[in-house]
Chain A
C-alpha cells in the first residue's frame, strides 16, 4: 500500500473546512445532525491515531480498540469515584493507555509484519475477555450506565450536560484540531520520512542506521495515547460503557476507514472517516449491515484500487492536468 504524497496545503484545507463546519451547529441546531457531526469528529481523531501506526510506519495493529475502550472505562470509573474535570480524565486515560501499549509492545514488537498483527489480535481479545469477566469493577456485560457528565472543574463544577450537544461538538472539534496538527507534525519532515522508510523496507532502514524498534514503539505509544484520550471524551457523551468498546468491530471500522480513505494520508483518513461515518447514521443501518458494506468496499479497494479514494482523486487530478 503506497502512501500518497501529501499536498503541502492539505492541512490548511482540512482546518479551513473544519472551521466552516464549526459554524454549522449555529445554523442547524437539530440533535440528530449534531450527533452525526460529533460521531464523525470522534472517528476522525480515532482513525488518525490508528493511521499513525498502521498507515505511517505500516505496523497493522489489531489492538487499537483496546486503548479506546480503556480510556472510556477509566473515565467512567473515575466519574463514579470522584468528579474529575474532563481534561484530567483525558490525561489519566492517555497515561494508562500508553501503559497498556507498553505492556503489549513487550511481546508484540519482538515480531514483525503479519506476526505482529496476529499477536496484537490475541492481546486485544485477551484484554476484552478480562474486561468482560472482571465483573466486580467493570460490571462485565451489564455495562456501566449513566457515566457522569464532562465538567470543566472538579465536583461537577461547570458541567457539560449531555443535552448540550453544541458544547460536545466544540470539544471534539478542538481535540480533533490538536490531533490533526500532531498527525501532521509526525507524518512529515524528518520523522515522517523515517516512518515511511521503516514501512517500505526494514532491512534497508536498519542499514542506514534507523532504530526500527524505537520508531515502532514511539508511534504505537503515541497512537495508543490518542485513542485513550478519544475514549475518555466519548464515554460521558454516549453515557454507557460496554465491553464491546474494546471489540474487534471498532478496530475493523478503523481499518476500513484508513484503507478505503487512503492509508498514510491526512486527507484520505479524514475523508474516509466522514464517508464511512455519515452514511450509516443517515440511513440508520444495523451494525452488521454496515460492516458487510465496509468489508465489500475494503475488498474492492485492496484488490483493485490502491491508495483508496484519495488515490482515485489524485489520479483524476493528474489526468486533468495532463490533458
Chain B
C-alpha cells in the first residue's frame, strides 16, 4: 500500500486549471522531487493535498485512509507535514516557541491539564523542550533561541519553518522550495538532514528549482507543466525527457 495516493486531483481558479487531473502514488521511504516551471501548479497541488485549498475533483488517500474531507489540522495530526512557499512563521513567538508550538499538538493531554499544569503535562513540556533545542542547534539558530521570529532574516525563517515541519515526526513531509534563498553550506546541511530523516523512515515530497540539489537527493522525480504530470521516473531520465526540456526551456 502506498503512503500517499493522489487520484485525479483537479483545481481551477477562474478558468485557469492550476492542477489538472493529477494522479500519482508515493511509497513509504521515498524522496520524491516535484519539479516544473513557475506557475505549473506545484504549490497548488500541495495546498490541495493538505486541504488548505479544496480541490474541485479527485481524492487523496494517506496511509490507506481517504483524507479528502479532512480539515488541515486533522491531516497534520495524521502525520502529514508541510512547509510553505511563501515562508510563514509565528512572528510573536520566539524561535524556540515556534518549534514547540509545532510539536505540541501531537501530545496526548487535554486543555485542562495544560491550563492547570499537571505533572503529566509538565513532563511532556520537558520532553518537547529537549527535542526543540536539539533541532535549533542543528539548524544553527542557537544564538537566536529567544529571539522573536518576526525579527529573523528570510533565510533564518526558512530554516525555522523547515524545522517546524519535521519536529513532530511526521510520516510524510511536503517541502515547498526548501533550498531557495538559503546559503550553499546550509543547503548541503539541509540535504544531509533530509537524508538522515529519510533513513529513519520519513518520506518526502520536495518542490525545488535547484536542480543540483533535487537531482542529488530524490529517488524519483515528478515533473508538472500547466497542471499536468508530464514525466515521472528516475532523476536522470526525467531530466533528459524532451517534454521536460520543452517545458523548462521552450526548446
| From A186, A196, A208, contact of B76 by CB (8 A) | A208
Q: Is the interface of A mostly helix, strand, loop or mixed?
A: helix
Answer whether residue B71 sits at the interface, using C-beta atoms and an 8 A cutoff.
yes
Interface residues in A260-312 by Cβ distance below 8 A to B read 264
Answer whether residue B67 sits at the interface, using C-beta atoms and an 8 A cutoff.
no
Q: Is the Cβ of A186 less than 8 Å from the Cβ of B115?
A: yes
| From B72, B111, B117, contact of A206 by CB (8 A) | B72
Interface residues in A182-232 by Cβ distance below 8 A to B read 185-186, 189-191, 193-194, 196-197, 199-201, 203-212, 218
User: Residue among A2, A185, A204, A211 with the most chain B CB within 10 A?
Assistant: A204
Answer whether residue A3 sits at the interface, using C-beta atoms and an 8 A cutoff.
yes
CB contacts between A and B, total, < 8 Å? 93
Answer whether residue B62 sits at the interface, using C-beta atoms and an 8 A cutoff.
no
| From B73, B76, B111, contact of A218 by CB (8 A) | B111
Interface residues on A, range: 20 to 34
Interface residues in A22-71 by Cβ distance below 8 A to B read none
Tell me the bound Cα distance from A63 to B106 in angstroms.
33
List, in ascending order, chain B residues with CB within 8 A of A5's CB. 94, 148
List, in ascending order, chain B residues with CB within 8 A of A264's CB. 92
Q: Mark B81-113, 1 if CB is under 8 A from A, else 0.
A: 110100011111110010011101111000100
Q: Is the Cβ of A190 less than 8 Å from the Cβ of B121?
A: yes
Q: Is the Cβ of A189 less than 8 Å from the Cβ of B114?
A: yes
Q: Is the Cβ of B92 less than 8 Å from the Cβ of A199?
A: yes
Q: Which residues of B contact A (CB under 8 A)?
A: 50, 52, 71-74, 76-77, 81-82, 84, 88-94, 97, 100-102, 104-107, 111, 114-117, 121, 125, 148, 150, 164, 168
Q: Which residues of A contact B (CB under 8 A)?
A: 2-3, 5, 185-186, 189-191, 193-194, 196-197, 199-201, 203-212, 218, 264
A-B complex: 9 closest residue pairs judged by Cβ atoms: A209-B76, A209-B105, A206-B72, A204-B88, A208-B102, A200-B90, A193-B101, A206-B73, A211-B73
Interface contacts beyond A190-B114, A193-B97, A208-B102: sample of 20 additional A-B pairs, CB < 8 Å, sorted by A: A5-B94, A185-B115, A190-B100, A191-B114, A197-B93, A200-B93, A201-B88, A203-B72, A204-B90, A206-B52, A206-B73, A207-B72, A207-B82, A208-B105, A209-B73, A209-B76, A209-B105, A211-B73, A211-B105, A218-B111
